[in-house]
Amino acid sequence: MALLQIAGLSKSYDNETKVLKDISFNVKAGEFVSIIGPSGAGKSTLLRCINRMVSISSGEVIFDNAQVTSMKKRALRQLRTNIGMVFQHYNLVPRLTVIENVLHGRFGYKSTLQGVLGRFTEAEKEQAFYLLRKLGIVEHAYKRCDQLSGGQQQRVGIARALIQDPKLVLCDEPIASLDPNSSKIIMDHLKSITSELGITCLVNLHQVEVAQQYSDRIIGLNHGEVVFDGLNYQLTEDKINRIYGTQVRELITV
């Protein structure tokens, strides 16, 4: 059974321009799916519709058998504990330490007072250190995040998402700001850890080659529409040209 079902999803920010047009696809539990497409194709908006960071104009999003589209505040808060988010620009608190930023991923499980006071259980702290070890940055646990490199900060962002104990992680261009070596480290960690923990992963990417290397499945967007949905080996040069409207050799770069 699908963990995530999207049916007829459309999003408009005004009455004239549709950012997403009748998007439909399902994602099975445990899948690693990449979404590719040119800038402005609607990739980031799509992810933000799934966790309702932006409102949905029409259509349905069903996550873990729950109707996301009509959820109110309390239900949305509960939903977001099960959907982690990794951002292109990390979205960390620079002046706080690595371990403090990771533990912020538990806020969805806390009362307002517990969150303000930073009251975390020993089990939560142990899990945070476990994830930092898995991601190879435990030695930086007590450094301020603004002292880290971009690749290290992104690993903190991944740990923060994973400590939620989510069923799904949404990654919005997680390597767009990174050099090729840091990009490989991030993708290796995303692939191995989500596989090991049994977490479904949906990743927006610009790099076609990276999508082909890491994904079980690839979805191609162009002008807010799905123009490809298939296994990585089915993404031929002709299909890439259809997604991007340009020559494949210009796009296959890390």
CA-based nearest residue to 214, from 38, 32, 30: 32
d(CA 149, CA 152): 5
CA-based nearest residue to 162, from 240, 110, 104, 117: 104
Supply the pLDDT for residue 249: 47
List the beta bridge partners of residue 26.
Answer: 5
Q: How many CB atoms lie within 10 A of CB 227?
A: 16
d(CA 233, CA 24): 21
Give the global pTM.
0.91
Q: Where are the domains of the chain?
A: 1-82+168-178+201-254, 91-165
**What are the pLDDT tens digits along the chain (254 aa)?**
799 999 999 999 887 788 999 999 999 999 999 999 999 899 999 999 999 999 999 999 999 999 999 899 888 988 999 999 999 999 999 999 999 999 999 987 766 656 556 678 899 999 999 999 999 999 999 999 999 999 999 999 999 999 999 999 999 999 998 999 999 999 999 999 999 999 999 999 989 999 999 999 999 999 999 999 999 999 999 999 999 986 454 555 44
Residue linked to tokens 């992680």? 169
CA-based nearest residue to 160, from 96, 241, 76, 227: 96
d(CA 32, CA 159): 17
Residue linked to tokens 């099975």? 28
Supply the pLDDT for residue 111: 63
Which one is the CATH code of 1-82+168-178+201-254: 2.40.50.700, 3.30.70.890, 3.40.720.10, 3.40.50.300? 3.40.50.300
